[in-house]
Amino acid sequence: MEIKRVVTLTFSPTGGTRKAADAVARGVNAPERLDLDRTSFESRWAGAELREGDFAVIGMPVYYGRVPALLTEFFRLIEARDIPAALVVTYGNQNLGDALLELSDESAAHGFRPVAGAAFIARHSFTDKLGTGRPNDSDLALAVQFGQTAAQLVRSAPDLSALSLTVPGSFPYRPAMDLPIAPATDRSKCTGCMLCQQQCPVQAINPLDPAEIDAWRCLDCARCIQNCPAGAKAIAVPALREKIAVMEAVAAAPKAPELFYAN
């Protein structure tokens, strides 16, 4: 199949997945590019029709061994039929869990044909002591190569429907974690700039009071913590802070990316 356009379809609140997916897209080396970044709330109301000759790079982070619980919104209004796709997940050097399998299953259910899957390491959303500096230059070089190889597979396959991709993970997937652990705001530091409210991927922050977060709506994505110019937001729930400290102690040794191709 001739690849005429690479389409990146990503959700990346703290930017790690986006970096890896961009590198994969560079490796695909198609004449055209369409960027569908689905991180902002508004972006998930925009539709797009994918067409013959498109190759998709679909990227999501790993949340508690799953992909974030907004898959329906992520694929909403995206029309795809038999579009070959390279899947990318990033995780914070702890565990990949069932996320790549879940992304593969969901992509297939939404009209994509997964031909390759990759798990890259990125800075952990909750702490810079895990996945520090990742994806680094060598991760990104590997991501470019992964895109090249996945695209070559599609360009040379006589029959895409004969390809089958196997990725790690098991079904039923591990139970989703849905804890109401929204970040806390230090009102003495908050300047009221409203950046957090404008950038929250699920509109969980009250536009009249940026310290008020709907904990059930919040994905715990940490975007507001990382991007607050005043350093006013932080994880406050003691149980999660303790869990992070344990993770920092046991999951510090840098892990290697894993790549999978259909055959």
Residue whose CB is less far from ligand FMN, 64 or 154: 64
234 bridge partner residues = 184
Asked whether the beta carbons of 61 and 17 are under 8 A apart, the reply is: yes
Residue 149 binding result from ligand SF4, ligand FMN, none, given CB thresholds of 5 to 8 Å by partner type: none
Residue 230 binding result from ligand SF4, ligand FMN, none, given CB thresholds of 5 to 8 Å by partner type: ligand SF4
Residue 124 binding result from ligand SF4, ligand FMN, none, given CB thresholds of 5 to 8 Å by partner type: ligand FMN
Supply φ then ψ for residue 29, to 5 degrees.
55, 60
Give the C-alpha separation, 67 to 192, whole Å. Answer: 31
Residue whose CB is less far from ligand SF4, 48 or 195: 195
Tokens of 118: 């990759």
Residue whose CB is less far from ligand FMN, 25 or 154: 25
Residue whose CB is less far from ligand FMN, 94 or 197: 94
How far, CA to CA in Å, does 224 sit from each of 37, 87, 166, 171?
A: 18, 26, 35, 32
Q: Least separation, in Å, of the C-beta of 203 and ligand FMN?
A: 17
Contacts with ligand FMN by CB under 6 A: the residue count is: 26
8 counts as binding ligand FMN under rule CB under 6 A: no
Give the C-alpha separation, 24 to 120, whole Å. Answer: 11
Asked whether the beta carbons of 151 and 28 are under 8 A apart, the reply is: yes
Give the C-alpha separation, 129 to 47, whole Å. Answer: 38
Q: Return the residues of window 216-245 that contact ligand FMN according to CB under 6 A.
A: 220-222
Residue 213 binding result from ligand FMN, ligand SF4, none, given CB thresholds of 5 to 8 Å by partner type: ligand SF4
